[in-house]
Structure 1
């Protein structure tokens, strides 16, 4: 009876998927037919493009994925240029984004003010004379989106996902990650020196002489390094259990007398009797350093932090100093245009106001409807795959499917837009506009403390080219920004859409069941729902992913960090597998007809290679490897396809091909 029900379910899933009609047959061009697909599929599909496309001087890379946000910002700039020339009703989304943008474009006014906007803050730092006054300043700045030595936020409780609680995290460093302070290779040393030079320049721009500025920069770097020594590594941060530490405020007061948690929380406006202290070792160290580092040194540190926080919002010398550091870190050759920067700033501070305008112009309801069909079909295919797993028991399978079908799907844009009524915008005060938007964002967050979680809230803007899985809400989110070619096109055939956005959908669903997501139940609570034996088998397969990806060389002798990227790599492997299964449920997936010389299956896999078509500078690639939890784009293609048997069949991959893995070594998790 059970098998009969499963068969009926599969047939119903097939029926619902197969109703999709074929769309326009888009030709696939640029294939390098001199290469064997099984040697390097990324190069086979993208090599000609890769070898000929220039990286714009103002960018660190070009192509799909996150680099599509560059043309997105140009689109947004077009919207902003248009509405900033119009009269807009006071308080309307159009007025706020237009005036914010116009104020940021007025570089003459910004340059005239030099660093006057932050002089009151620097003067306030000068009045600090003890630890309580230091922490009072830190709290005030935290409310303006300046974390300095305290990173505070409000979000769902990992073990009671229906309620919002207070969280704190490790912070306090200026380099991208703790490891940058402890490496001695030439590229890292160059970044260290560039960072010190940047801090010194900021001090010179605010009146220090060169000798004093260098001395201050060295002092700041030393404090940074002491704080960094307490930081968890990026791999350690993946342990969701170890990074959940809900502690009573009364206990924290005793544990950290120098931090003064009771007064700090009061100054933050946070009424709570407990905190989730993500990384307690950081706050243990901070508590000690507050006592051992002289107050005058802390004042210099806070000045550096404050100037750096606002450098891009001040006059040209500050903006230029920030860019010189960025150039060494990422390889970006020249600064982005002012219009692109301001489009990004508006999106950052007033993202859903701008998003309303973007969606009206660039995202259709028909696209949203088709996208929902794609998501539903991939979800159905995932259930079938779970039922077929040989390593998982029936009881765990049932719970996995319950979690799968409890996923909330958000597509395009929020049902309820954020209200920016507390953000005060004027066309001639860019700095104050930034501060007002940041303060309003903090107050919006603080208002959630102790309240039920708003399941309708989004954590990215509609125009951003991204997608995400939120484990505490058990939701997957696909903003309008990613719902465009090459990921999704409402006018192309299923093969391209399932190979494109279908893989992304499968990827995001898999985050529900990756090394982190698998520890949350269907309600989004950090709670064990596995049998011990099943979880042991699951972890062994996760280790296979870590081991395989750790063998991939990216740049010189630099390897992918398999243990840091395991969640994303797992999602890529399973994402392709389930997207393929969903595609085979469609009419085109069952057809043998060729389009432009390629079978439907081949078009599916060609689409996968195209959505990760990216070229980036070596400096940025090095930054990526050290900090990004995703593998570089070439391995988001070749890595998972090496583990995808239908790919071998579609392109006749042979044992002598470089991408060939014996069947016994191909990883199947979901």
Structure 2
């Protein structure tokens, strides 16, 4: 659902071999038996019918019909800001990963990677040792910041802090507390090489609206943020904390004023800006760019892509105009808050109180082991993933997922053939792109080499800092080598899926290939509605409002006939209007433009999955199971994907920053498919009913 991290709705996944699957060798899956042998994890055929609210008409509220009882009986865990199907699987994967990591921690005779995994985890878990060290591990960095004497030294500090931890097309990944972030990806103009893309940053809250919106809710959050900044400075024993916190908030507000909006950030046509080193000096004066490039390890780069030109100019001007001492205070606070998870309890608790509770409404911090698993995955994710797939990902699951992907891709190709609004020349280009699409399932073909990462048992913050530098060096090194067309951007143990338009590839980690998304013992209709819908979603991202701008080789290149693209754009506008009308909160609607790519992928992907399901039947009708027809089970499988509950603060944050619509709206995507109306006898006058001409048909 996100491109680059086209998240299917939220969270992380598991592992499997990245088996590239060219469409030329795809065949339809065989017709399923009435029901596979064995007991599915959910219900009698793979759907939890006890979670339904049968008092609701499907045509009035399909999400509630399919999931209403689940919503009523489900409580969001205290350590979560929301609770979704993705969250359930994330918890499952985390428990499995915990066992793997704890075994590694106890295995002192293991190989080098296993030892690093164990040492990293055990060190984070040793709260007593972290408490005893206090702030000492961070003091060298704080001393460096205190020693900044002029704007050239400040520019060096800003360059040195650069990290490649942003992905511009992942959900709200302009959110970085570093003044800039860098993304290393294929060059939009020449996808056979990598380019460095400079991203806007500098905010301690998720988006510019948190600083600029004058409503009481955001004013309250700004007051809480200022108090949080002051509290962390006081925890570090820094004098005049309250006044410094006020100045830091004022500085970040100025940064927010020059930030691009979420909608503009997701518009790649505005992001393809190549600047020379001379351009940086001329177009963004204020930073000593020579010092910045050298400190960032980018001195050999004569050009750089600037994703956000106006914000880069505006931020650089602030470096010149704002007092040096304010910048030093700003960098000091962010260094403390960034390090908080690896510092004594008072720092970690204060960080969670704001970032977890105030921003997302989460009342309780996750248990220490969960945080340790997350941090170990951040540092050594593929090494952990290699152990995960060995333990939890059977070859049969991979084979079945590949067969289903082949069927959905075949169905998508047929849909292209049958489009009545697209010219033959554009169809030929679309079919070429589909034919070169590759599918990765479970885990990558080649695992990361962690031999260059130093992990020291007993040095929690040092391990995190070295891990960050190791990852940065790994990303920067790409600029000097060939493009890896088979690269994965997810971990096997993540509950997620991904489409990379620059690689023209999709991947499905092992952890998402679990019930209810995929169950070898479930009815085929449910599997096609669930994981089939996810597969279709990722395929469709190659042809959504973003993916459609990239050609079969991954270049940002217009391959459309002008009239065809106008028709495609018009369908997108209709979908924007449809989602703009949804109000998950009384005072806040879905942003149909921000979520357009994900919504297109839902509509087109579900349509392709339905066609693939019908194809799998081989011309026969599916049996009725527990009173549900095959088509009904298909749509219920889709709706079960998006069971979700949100705390208000988390939902508000999602609506502002996340390109995915909330789960309820995603489940109701069905209203755009003719087959849903027949399956549930939906009639005019029911709330979700759309006249045939009003149903959005994309691909």
TM-score, L = length of structure 2: 0.91
Q: How does 1:50-69 map to 2 (within 5 A)?
A: 50-66=71-87, 68-69=89-90
CA distance, structure 2, for counterparts of residue 655 and residue 489 of structure 1: 35
Unpaired stretches in structure 1, ≥5 consecutive residues = 1-11
2:53 corresponds to which residue? 32
2:271 corresponds to which residue? 243
Deviation at 1:84, TM superposition (A): 1.5
2:15 corresponds to which residue? none
In 2 relative to 1, CA 490–538 (structure 1 residues): closer, same or farther, beyond 3 Å? Answer: same
- Secondary structure of the 1:437 match is helix
Pair 1:75-2:96 in alignment: yes
Q: Judge conservation of contact 2:163–2:181 (CA < 8 Å) in 1.
A: no
Q: Judge conservation of contact 1:142–1:148 (CA < 8 Å) in 2.
A: yes
In 2 relative to 1, CA 199–593 (structure 1 residues): closer, same or farther, beyond 3 Å? Answer: same
- Secondary structure of the 2:110 match is coil
Q: How does 1:381-396 map to 2 (within 5 A)?
A: 381-396=411-426
Pair 1:153-2:183 in alignment: yes
Q: Judge conservation of contact 2:27–2:410 (CA < 8 Å) in 1.
A: no
Pair 1:296-2:325 in alignment: yes
1:316 corresponds to which residue? 345
CA distance, structure 1, for counterparts of residue 139 and residue 293 of structure 2: 26
Q: How does 1:492-571 map to 2 (within 5 A)?
A: 492-571=522-601
Post-superposition Cα deviations, 1:336-382, rounded to whole Å, max 9, x if no partner, equal 00000010111111110110111111111111111111111100000
Pair 1:437-2:458 in alignment: no
2:13 corresponds to which residue? none
In 2 relative to 1, CA 89–74 (structure 1 residues): closer, same or farther, beyond 3 Å? Answer: closer
Pair 1:477-2:502 in alignment: no
CA distance, structure 2, for counterparts of residue 359 and residue 412 of structure 1: 8
Post-superposition Cα deviations, 1:513-551, rounded to whole Å, max 9, x if no partner, equal 111110000001000000111111111111001011000
Q: How does 1:258-297 map to 2 (within 5 A)?
A: 258-270=286-298, 271-297=300-326
Pair 1:619-2:649 in alignment: yes
| Equivalent position to 1:120, from 140, 146, 157 | 140
Q: Judge conservation of contact 2:159–2:291 (CA < 8 Å) in 1.
A: no
Q: Judge conservation of contact 1:625–1:631 (CA < 8 Å) in 2.
A: yes
Q: Judge conservation of contact 2:177–2:203 (CA < 8 Å) in 1.
A: no
Pair 1:371-2:392 in alignment: no
CA distance, structure 1, for counterparts of residue 188 and residue 334 of structure 2: 31
Deviation at 1:109, TM superposition (A): 0.5
Pair 1:105-2:139 in alignment: no
Pair 1:139-2:159 in alignment: yes
2:169 corresponds to which residue? none
- Secondary structure of the 2:616 match is coil
Deviation at 1:308, TM superposition (A): 1.5
Deviation at 1:89, TM superposition (A): 2.9
CA distance, structure 2, for counterparts of residue 294 and residue 589 of structure 1: 73
- Secondary structure of the 2:593 match is helix
Q: How does 1:331-346 map to 2 (within 5 A)?
A: 331-346=361-376
- Secondary structure of the 2:684 match is coil
Deviation at 1:391, TM superposition (A): 0.9
Deviation at 1:180, TM superposition (A): 1.1
Post-superposition Cα deviations, 1:403-455, rounded to whole Å, max 9, x if no partner, equal 01111111100000001111111221111111111111111111111422111
Q: Judge conservation of contact 1:510–1:575 (CA < 8 Å) in 2.
A: yes
CA distance, structure 1, for counterparts of residue 198 and residue 521 of structure 2: 46
CA distance, structure 2, for counterparts of residue 13 and residue 290 of structure 1: 56
Q: How many corresponding residue pairs?
A: 655
2:209 corresponds to which residue? 179
CA distance, structure 1, for counterparts of residue 519 and residue 443 of structure 2: 17
Which portions of structure 1, spanning 4 or more consecutive aligned residues, are displaced by more than 4 angstroms? 12-15, 19-22, 143-147
Deviation at 1:458, TM superposition (A): 1.1
In 2 relative to 1, CA 88–617 (structure 1 residues): closer, same or farther, beyond 3 Å? Answer: farther
CA distance, structure 2, for counterparts of residue 144 and residue 424 of structure 1: 19
Deviation at 1:143, TM superposition (A): 5.2
2:487 corresponds to which residue? 457
| Equivalent position to 1:253, from 276, 281, 284 | 281
CA distance, structure 1, for counterparts of residue 395 and residue 287 of structure 2: 51
Unpaired stretches in structure 2, ≥5 consecutive residues = 1-23, 166-175
CA distance, structure 2, for counterparts of residue 88 and residue 229 of structure 1: 54
2:36 corresponds to which residue? 23
In 2 relative to 1, CA 147–454 (structure 1 residues): closer, same or farther, beyond 3 Å? Answer: farther
Deviation at 1:15, TM superposition (A): 7.0
Q: Judge conservation of contact 2:284–2:314 (CA < 8 Å) in 1.
A: no
- Secondary structure of the 1:167 match is strand
Q: Judge conservation of contact 1:413–1:479 (CA < 8 Å) in 2.
A: yes
- Secondary structure of the 1:188 match is helix
2:17 corresponds to which residue? none
Q: How does 1:195-274 map to 2 (within 5 A)?
A: 195-209=225-239, 212-270=240-298, 271-274=300-303
Q: Judge conservation of contact 1:196–1:217 (CA < 8 Å) in 2.
A: yes
Q: Judge conservation of contact 1:378–1:579 (CA < 8 Å) in 2.
A: yes
- Secondary structure of the 2:362 match is coil
Q: Judge conservation of contact 1:13–1:377 (CA < 8 Å) in 2.
A: no
Pair 1:96-2:116 in alignment: yes
Post-superposition Cα deviations, 1:561-602, rounded to whole Å, max 9, x if no partner, equal 111101101111111111000000112873241112111111
CA distance, structure 2, for counterparts of residue 589 and residue 76 of structure 1: 43
| Equivalent position to 1:45, from 57, 62, 66 | 66
Q: Judge conservation of contact 1:66–1:466 (CA < 8 Å) in 2.
A: no
Pair 1:668-2:697 in alignment: yes
Q: Judge conservation of contact 2:210–2:222 (CA < 8 Å) in 1.
A: yes
Deviation at 1:86, TM superposition (A): 2.2
Post-superposition Cα deviations, 1:85-106, rounded to whole Å, max 9, x if no partner, equal 2223352x21111110000000
In 2 relative to 1, CA 111–427 (structure 1 residues): closer, same or farther, beyond 3 Å? Answer: same
- Secondary structure of the 2:197 match is strand
CA distance, structure 2, for counterparts of residue 589 and residue 563 of structure 1: 39
In 2 relative to 1, CA 144–137 (structure 1 residues): closer, same or farther, beyond 3 Å? Answer: farther
2:19 corresponds to which residue? none
- Secondary structure of the 2:672 match is coil
CA distance, structure 2, for counterparts of residue 144 and residue 68 of structure 1: 28
In 2 relative to 1, CA 122–113 (structure 1 residues): closer, same or farther, beyond 3 Å? Answer: same
CA distance, structure 1, for counterparts of residue 26 and residue 489 of structure 2: 33
TM-score, L = length of structure 1: 0.95
